Amino acid sequence: MAGEWREVTVGEIAPFTYGKGLPEARRNPTGNIPVYGSNGVVGLHDVPLTNGPTVVIGRKGTVGAVHYSPVPCWPIDTTFFVTGSDPSLVRYRYYLLKSLGLEHMNSDSAVPGLNRDAAHVRRVRIPSKQTDQRAIACILGSLDDKIELNRRMNKTLEEMARAIFKSWFVDFDPVRTKAAIRREHPKWSDEQVSRLSAEQAGAACPKLKPDIAALFPDSFEDSELGEIPKGWRVGQFGDIVQIHDSKRIPLSSRERAKRQGPYRYYGAVGIVDYVDDFLFDGTYVLVGEDGSVVTDLGNPVVQYVWGKFWVNNHAHVLKAAGSFSDEHLLLVLQQVYVVPFVTGAVQPKLSQTNMNAIPILRAKPEVNIAFNKLIEPIFAKVRMLHDEIGLLAALRDALLPKLISGELRVPDAERIAGRCV
């Protein structure tokens, strides 16, 4: 294969162009053109700087990070970018640059920066034939495209679950529909009202069948949370949750370095590391306890996790109780306003006591059970797609260096990748 490859410099195969400044005040957030900084997409605009697929490289800040935009974009002045007339070759250059470890070429320890001249003189081996370069881009790109498709599908599924939750437990669409029908037909039976309310709900309340509509009341009553469906009640968060915080064990960075393994190690906002053992096995909801505990909208920082994993002492570990499911619990937490229950100006904290005292609306158990039957298949699909993303990403990361170096031939890689996409 030696004759099929040639040695060039990065500057010859993928010359870097400086990005152009675009202050946030000058951007049009209603546009559909992604604006890239060194750490990825940082906003939107209505005019692109590039004309097609673009490779964006972190110049300042997140030095050497390599991003791929399949559409025209605006790389700002903390980046370099690479473009070209052939989309497949642009994508090949993306994977080539991803393999070079540019993040280690920091030229200034005080202000991290990637020197263009230093990057340009790096020597690399590439396939002599552009058809082979396109084939490599196609193999790796097919995996990334499938990953992106799964992410979009999961986003849609999660939005669907939130829409049903909002309709049932925030906007009370089934109750409002039944109340309107009851006012118009005061002598109708509950069965007649439920049947018509299911027909009229439509887009406002998806997946509402007559037997489900029958579970909802047709009037409201006052409560400390405002107007709520009659027969429902206001309770406390602690009534619907099992707390497993006592099982948490924090590990220092030094301890984790000695215990590297395949199991996720979670903190308040996400995965911090991977370790050699697990504390929990199953589906759980994690809520940030201290540090980053509140979103910009005032909701708690929540993670939906499953499988085998470890959690430090910066996140509450929860499972649902009673007629609530873990997924229902997740949706409740994603919309509850917790700012009044967070203490500490320097180090914000959502204590277990304060979390348990958060007032929540409690529907009748049969309503919760019906809701769980609707959303559990949705979240089962979410988990499946998310796990598939992990497998595809691992395969891509394993194939990338072998394809870029020529260690693995294109036909062999096509057979491997073809079984997964």
pLDDT digits (tens, 9 = 90+) for 403-420: 999 999 888 888 877 765
Q: Which of 73-77, 81-85, 174-178, 282-286 has the lowest mean pLDDT?
A: 174-178
Domains of the chain: 2-128 (3.90.220.20), 238-361 (3.90.220.20)
In the predicted model, is pLDDT for residue 2 greater than 60?
A: no
pLDDT at 201: 66
CA distance 56 to 4: 28
Q: What is the mean pLDDT of the chain?
A: 94
Q: How far apart are CA 313 and CA 267, in angstroms?
A: 7
Q: What is the pLDDT at residue 203?
A: 53
Output b/e per residue, 336-347; b: 16+ Cβ within 10 A: bebeebbeeeee
Position 36 scores a pLDDT of: 99
DSSP secondary structure of 334-403: HH---GGG-B-SSS-B--HHHHHT-EEEE--HHHHHHHHHHHHHHHHHHHHHHHHHHHHHHHHHHHHHHH
At 27 the pLDDT is: 97
For 344-390, write each residue's pLDDT tens digit. 988 999 999 999 999 999 999 999 999 999 999 999 999 999 999 99
Residue keyed to tokens 């949706």: 331
